[in-house]
Amino acid sequence: MINKNFLNLSNNYLFAEIARKVQAFKAENPKAQIISLGIGDVTQPLCPAVVEALHKAADEMAVAATFRGYGPEQGYDFLRNAIVENDFKARGIDIDADEIFVSDGAKSDTGNFQELLSADCVVAVTDPVYPVYVDSNIMAGRRIVKLPCTAENGFIPEAPLLSSLKEDGKGLVIFLCYPNNPTGTVLSRSELKKWVDYALANDALIFYDAAYEAFIQHDDIPHSIYEIEGAKRCAVEFHSFSKTAGFTGVRCGYTVVPKDLPAPFNSLWNRRQCTKFNGTSYLSQRAAEAIYTPEGKQQVKATINYYMENARVMREALTDMGFKVYGGEDAPYLWVSTPNNMTSWDFFDWMLRSAYVVCTPGSGFGPSGEGFVRLTAFGTHENTEKALLRIANRL
Ligand code: PLP
């Protein structure tokens, strides 16, 4: 009766194990003030433009004349058009509104979009990786190939590793996430172009997760894969307002499905959404629209700057302490090499017990994450600085 693929999922011990260890430590040391540099959620509130839009939308819902029931499964035109204008046209990218599918976030879409793929497609993911790509493909029974991303290769997976996969004649889907969770590293235009060229030459499909594009600080780093010539023929792109504008609780994102893809993914995704999805709430979409107003843009940027200031302070302080630090320049994540060949979990324990600071062990994101921990910039300035001081004092 059940889908046996689900039995192949490993229990994801990572966050449960972190919580268990933190609880146990708290029980032993009730006075210890623990600070988490491991949180993947945001801490700053919604910006005023978004809050105002939410209030306004709620008021509309209270009056019969402006009440909205079911909306279009693909998203309201006001939001699809704002996305096209601001995220694509403004960057010189030609995307049509009917290639934008508004969703309740990138997690569900990166998982659900795979329904359009055959079960025998081979799936390539980076290692370390956002665990959702792996687990959602295990649920579908697909073969998964891991592409190691290490300090030696600059955390950039190598396409040649995939050439052997093409020989078996099956479809190939490559998941890329840049700026990357968990390593916080980015792909330059020329590096991303190599992947687009590879996909075009090998009839592969790229799933490009751009959930963290708003954190990019350097002008030459691409925000969208469609900045690369030919990408509309080989890539689907996922976006999220969660980290961009603090929408982790509001829920809104979107997926770009170009009509130029070699298979009818655009019409099939539309068909799938019309069957299985009843749209993102009107309130969430009005809230997302507000991000694209002049005030919204400026306010959202201010919050991102707040987090990126944390990232800067963390990078500097940890580097001064002698740690090897990656990422954190165009992403809210720092990938820190553990000292003295400690394992990720040993270093986690040391940080917790010596500095009362929580981090995320890199090995939880895949075998190549061993020897690293992930730190996030989503805390407050005060806590971030306090945590760094404690680490420095315990070294
Ligand atoms: N993609 C990546 C790489 C993420 O790290 C996350 C959240 O942590 C998501 C997608 C999920 O985004 P959403 O909140 O839009 O579902």
If you measure from the C-alpha of residue 324 to the centroid of ligand 1, how many angstroms do you get, rounded to a whole number? 26
How far, in Å, from the CA of 211 to the mean position of ligand 1? 6
Query: Does ligand 1 lie within 6 Å of residue 310's CB atom?
Result: no
How far are the Cα atoms of 14, 57, 95 from residue 17, in angstroms, in the given order? 5, 41, 43
Q: What is the pLDDT of residue 165?
A: 64
Helices (H), the chain: 13-28, 48-61, 77-83, 106-112, 131-139, 163-166, 189-201, 242-245, 265-276, 282-290, 294-320, 344-350, 381-394
pLDDT (0 to 100) of residue 31: 92
Q: pLDDT digit string (tens) for 262-298?
A: 999 999 999 999 999 999 999 999 999 999 999 999 9
Q: Which atom of ligand 1 lies at the shortest distance from residue 130's CA?
A: 3
CA distance 201 to 209: 21
Give the distance (Å) from ligand 1 centre to CA of residue 322: 31
* Predicted pLDDT of residue 155: 95
Which residue would you say has higher pLDDT here, 12 or 330? Answer: 330
Instruction: Determine the distance separating the centroid of ligand 1 and the alpha carbon of 102, expressed in angstroms.
Output: 15
Per-residue pLDDT reduced to its tens digit, 13-67: 788 889 999 999 999 999 999 999 997 899 999 999 999 999 999 999 999 999 9
Token pair 């959602």 is found at 136
Please tell me the residue having the least CA distance from ligand 1 atom 15. Answer: 105
Cα(358)–Cα(352) distance, integer angstroms:
6
pLDDT averaged over every residue in the chain? 95
Label the pairing between strands 100-103 and 253-256. Answer: antiparallel
* Mean pLDDT on 364-381: 96
| Percentage of residues of the chain with pLDDT beyond 90 | 92
Ligand 1 centroid from CA 13, angstroms = 19
Once rounded to an integer, what is the mean pLDDT over residues 375-392?
Answer: 96
What count of other Cβ atoms lies within 10 Å of the Cβ of residue 251? 20
pLDDT in tens, 186-217: 999 999 999 999 999 989 999 999 999 999 99
pLDDT digits (tens, 9 = 90+) for 110-132: 999 999 999 999 999 999 999 99
Question: 10 Å Cβ neighbour count for 285?
Answer: 26
Give the pLDDT score at 156. Answer: 92
Ligand 1: atom nearest CA of 108 is 16
pLDDT of residue 91: 95
Global pTM value:
0.96
C-beta separation of 362 from 182 below 8 A: yes
Cα Rg, the chain, nearest whole Å: 21
In the prediction, which pLDDT does 39 show? 79
- Is 207 touching ligand 1 by the criterion CB < 6 Å? no
pLDDT at residue number 394: 86
What are the tens digits of pLDDT across the range 183-193? 999 999 999 99
103 Cβ inside 6 Å of ligand 1? no
